[in-house]
Amino acid sequence: MKLTANIFSLLAIFGFIFFTGCEEVDDPYSHIDEVIDDFGDPAFNDTNWNDTNFTGRVIMLEDFTGHTCHNCPRGTDIGEDLMELHPDNLIVTAIHNSDGFSKPELPKYPANFETETGENIRLNFGLNFFPIAMINRHDFNGNNSRGVSVELWTDYVNQLLDDPQYMDPSLDIDYMLIYNTENRLLRIFPKVSVNKAISGDVYLNVFIAENGIVSPQKDSRYNPEYIEDYVHNHMLRAGFEQNEVGVPIFSSPQAGEVYRNDNVATADYIIDNEWIVDSMDVIVYAYNLDSQEILQVSKTKIIKE
């Protein structure tokens, strides 16, 4: 799902431009000379891009966790193992909203990693025990319960991966990122292509996740269970636009329809000064508003090495 951008020249004050997508196509942004917005007129010059040949569906596992949830690191490790086994097909987001388990607890657990987006998602889907995950927000049991207990994560991920019809993507997501190093503004310019007809409204949303955050964590597999230098990865920092809601891009689209807006960013966000941009990923996903199922997801680093 990752694209590599070869950048020949770009006005320095507008940071870095990257692309990501699910299919190999001609550069959809080659005609752009400038994008006008409230923050200035970034110009694009001789920008080329390409991607891998991967064209499949990607699954997102949303891991609801917390630093005083002593069983949650077990779930974290399962998610890491699954990503290692399926690097092209699986993305994990760690959401530190687990009711009381994610609250600051002084003096040992002073951090507050909760997000408004994560809390809205937890409440909307009625997630009340932890560790718990949603896997593409899929309704595995047909009872509208999306939370999956940790013992079933591997089985349910494999269930989806082994279904060729499910893994045939209904959407392809390509997008351009602009990160302005001066004002820390991140902008998303997506191109979403419909591969097959979809019934219902389709919304696009963006997560920002940070890696390598060192902060205490309880882990029941150790004695004592207090781990002072625990490393938190894939941590949700923010969701935009409209937190967990996103923006509408299609209504019951047919195959061949395309969503793209080259003149106005579909989503933008000012990154907090305390977050380490070099360690951050952008996760763009589309979901069906009626079924709540995630249809496609893509991830890339804000700043590539």
**pLDDT, mean of residues 23-37:** 43
Which residue would you say has higher pLDDT here, 37 or 59? 59
Rg (CA), the chain: 19
Reduced to 3 DSSP states, what percent helix, strand and coil does the chain have, rounded to the nearest 5? 15, 40, 45
pLDDT of residue 305: 67
Confidence category of residue 20, pLDDT binned at 50, 70, 90 = very low
* 63's tokens: 């891991």
Confidence category of residue 92, pLDDT binned at 50, 70, 90 = very high
Which residue would you say has higher pLDDT here, 261 or 72? 72
Q: Is the pLDDT of residue 1 over 60?
A: no
Query: Which one, of 44, 26, 27, lies nearest residue 35 by Cα?
Result: 44
pLDDT of residue 304: 75
Confidence category of residue 41, pLDDT binned at 50, 70, 90 = very low
Q: Is the pLDDT of residue 179 over 90?
A: no
Give the pLDDT confidence of 123-140 residue by residue, as tens digits: 999 999 999 999 999 999
CB-count burial class (<10 Å; 0-12, 13-18, 19+) for 95: buried
* 89's tokens: 């097909």
| Pairing label, strands 59-64, 44-51 | unpaired
pLDDT of residue 261: 86
The backbone torsions φ and ψ at residue 68, rounded to the nearest 5 degrees and listed phi first, read -105, 10
Percent of the chain at pLDDT > 70 equals 82
Percent of the chain at pLDDT > 90 equals 71
Q: Is the pLDDT of residue 84 over 50?
A: yes
Confidence category of residue 24, pLDDT binned at 50, 70, 90 = very low
How many of the other CB atoms lie within 10 Å of CB of 34?
A: 12
Query: Which one, of 90, 29, 30, 83, lies nearest residue 57 by Cα?
Result: 90
Q: Is the pLDDT of residue 40 over 70?
A: no
pLDDT of residue 54: 63
Confidence category of residue 17, pLDDT binned at 50, 70, 90 = very low
Give the pLDDT confidence of 189-220 residue by residue, as tens digits: 889 999 999 999 999 999 999 999 999 999 99
**Distance, CA of 283 to CA of 90 (rounded, Å):** 12
**pLDDT, mean of residues 171-187:** 88
Length of the chain counted residue by residue: 305
| pTM score of the predicted model | 0.85
| Pairing label, strands 59-64, 132-135 | antiparallel
Q: Identify whether 42 is preceded by a cis peptide bond (ω within 30 of 0).
A: no
- Per DSSP, the chain holds a count of helices (H) and strands (E) of 3, 20
CB-count burial class (<10 Å; 0-12, 13-18, 19+) for 36: exposed
Least confident stretch, 4-13, 45-54, 84-93, 279-288: 4-13
Find out whether 160 and 138 touch, Cβ atoms under 8 Å.
Answer: yes
pLDDT of residue 48: 25
Least confident stretch, 18-27, 142-151, 169-178: 18-27
| Pairing label, strands 16-20, 201-210 | unpaired
